[in-house]
Structure 1
Amino acid sequence: MNDPIRDVIVHYHIFKNAGTTIDALLHANFPHSHGAVEGELPWDILSSDQLQQYILANPTLKVVSSHQARLPLPEHTSLRIHPIVFLRHPIDRVESIYQFERHEPDTHLSPGIQIAKNTDLKGFVEWGLSENGTAVFRNFQTIHLAGRETDMRYAAATQADFLVASARLRELSFVGIVDRFDASIQQLRQVLKPIYPDLQLTPSLALNTSIGRSNLLSARIARISEALGNTLLNELIKANQFDLELYWQHTARDATAAFVSH
């Protein structure tokens, strides 16, 4: 007799992509069966096999969240994985990182904290794009989703990584967009409803957000552009060309899914 299939939600928590809010929603629904797994250091990654081992070793978990877990989805005869991935406009994301790191404790290992606390956004981006910066500023979402690199301090995305990331996203049942959060949550509810009919996901429960930022993406991008100036903005765009392409691909997919669901 075959063992029953175990359903597990996996939140692939990409840094500064509304992950804290998603985790709060999931924890509210699964308060006693929600787990998190990370490596020893902030720049570590966890392979699909390592994630699978964690899930199998914790049979009561229904939800797992991780900043460091990487696609592809674990494949095991006893598991059915329901992935949650959110994408964000990379230029908007960089300012969010700046605001976040300005308020982090000095004891945190992130190398950008002291830079963020002692300079303006332009200085922060200049540092981030320099030789001393990290992958957080350069196609980070592509690198994360491709999963080839093993050290996020020095990771660099290639065209091959972009193609892998794009293909993996197309295979997922759900890809959310941060600046369309409420609509994305509604889509996520529809995707998960057959398995979790009582799931309660309340849009607009925004946590860990930066105070004073406009609710409009266009307004935020305009302000960031003014703060950086054309030369630095163009450097930042060039450094995130793969992330921008992924974002626009799945913004179109998100809009299509919302239209179909209605």
Structure 2
Amino acid sequence: MNSNHVLIHYHIFKNAGSSVDASLRHSFGDRWGTFEGRHAHAILSSDQLAAFMAVNTHLSAISSHLARPPLPTPYCLPVVFLRHPLLRAYSVYQYTRMDSSQPFSDVALTLSFSDYIRWALRKESGSIVIRDYQVVHLSDASWRGGDILKAVATQADLEQARDLLSNWGMAGIVEEFELSTAVFQSKYSKYLPELEFLPKWDNATSRETASLSDRLDQLRQMLGDGLYGDFMEANSLDLDLHAHAQALLHSEADSIAAPSTM
């Protein structure tokens, strides 16, 4: 088994992944690589990632939209970012409207944001992307039913995803990107001295200047209270996981900032 540390970026769609990848590319050059499948829904197992690593031993960092936990070796260093599900849904909507190569781009292009949310709540094919998708991505829900588009997250999946992040020690939060990158830098630079997380956005769909609460309020007004409530209920597991990840981030940040008692 290769005992060199390798950073694994579990790239959840529209969760600042392009910004993370920009830092990894900057840090490692040709020792950063990507691991993807035949198409956007061809998810990949930990064993498949381990096999990829075995024949690409030069890599110090790997990014993948499709790889799923657990980590393939004890020497891997995980990076994942979570995002508030409503902000994430709006980003998914905007991005898929702009990029015709994205799955279900035609749906987003022909619908208003409110109608896009209604499409998702009807559980149309492809709408899993904004229905508790972050829990799906980080749990066994990805594998059930034989098709990621048919995935349904459960309370047990939430507990699995919460435990995963707790065992990893933290997750990044998109809404606190600078803090997240600083904490990842502090945690991992001793294993990978070349690592330089850049606290900047890359390929952001929009450059918001409003506060988090204002952005959420704007989106709530766009949807109306009834549709907003239905959407939040459909993403209650993601909301819980996001809050858990946020607590882990702040706890880790506090432990780094606290003076040593040794």
**Shared fold, TM over 0.5:** yes
Give the structure 2 partner of residue 162 of structure 1.
158
Give aligned-pair identity as a percent: 34
Deviations 1:35-60 (A, max 9, x none): 11111121121111111111111111
The secondary structure found in structure 1 opposite 2:116 is: helix
Q: Runs (4+) of structure 1 moved beyond 3 Å?
A: 212-215
1 CA distance for matches of 2:209 and 2:151? 31
1 CA distance for matches of 2:6 and 2:113? 39
Q: Which runs of 5+ in 1 are unaligned?
A: none
Deviations 1:203-233 (A, max 9, x none): 1x20121235345221111011000011111
Matched residue pairs, number?
A: 253
Aligned mate of 1:178, from 153, 160, 174: 174
Give the structure 1 partner of residue 128 of structure 2.
135
**What displacement does 1:147 show?**
3.3
Give the structure 2 partner of residue 123 of structure 1.
115
Residue type matched to 1:31 in 2?
Answer: G
Give the structure 2 partner of residue 247 of structure 1.
242
2 CA distance for matches of 1:147 and 1:208? 30
Residue type matched to 1:93 in 2?
Answer: R
TM-score (norm 1): 0.92
CA 1:212–1:85: 2 relative to 1, 3 Å: closer
**What displacement does 1:161 show?**
0.8
Give the structure 2 partner of residue 46 of structure 1.
44
Deviations 1:76-130 (A, max 9, x none): xxx610110111111110001111111102xx2512x112222221011111221
**What displacement does 1:5 show?**
1.5
Residue type matched to 1:138 in 2?
Answer: R
Deviates more, 1:14-23 or 1:188-197: 188-197
Give the structure 1 partner of residue 255 of structure 2.
260
Does structure 2 conserve the Cα–Cα contact (< 8 Å) formed by 1:7 and 1:80? yes
1 CA distance for matches of 2:102 and 2:184? 33
The secondary structure found in structure 2 opposite 1:30 is: helix
Whose helix proportion is higher, 1 or 2? 2
Deviations 1:178-227 (A, max 9, x none): 10000011000111121123422221x20121235345221111011000
Backbone CA RMSD of aligned residues: 1.6
Give the structure 2 partner of residue 84 of structure 1.
79
Residue type matched to 2:238 in 1?
Answer: D
Give the structure 1 partner of residue 54 of structure 2.
56
The secondary structure found in structure 1 opposite 2:224 is: helix
2 CA distance for matches of 1:261 and 1:222? 33
Residue type matched to 2:4 in 1?
Answer: R
Does structure 2 conserve the Cα–Cα contact (< 8 Å) formed by 1:174 and 1:191? no
1 CA distance for matches of 2:124 and 2:195? 44
How do 1:11-50 and structure 2 match up within 5 A? 11-50=9-48
TM-score (norm 2): 0.92
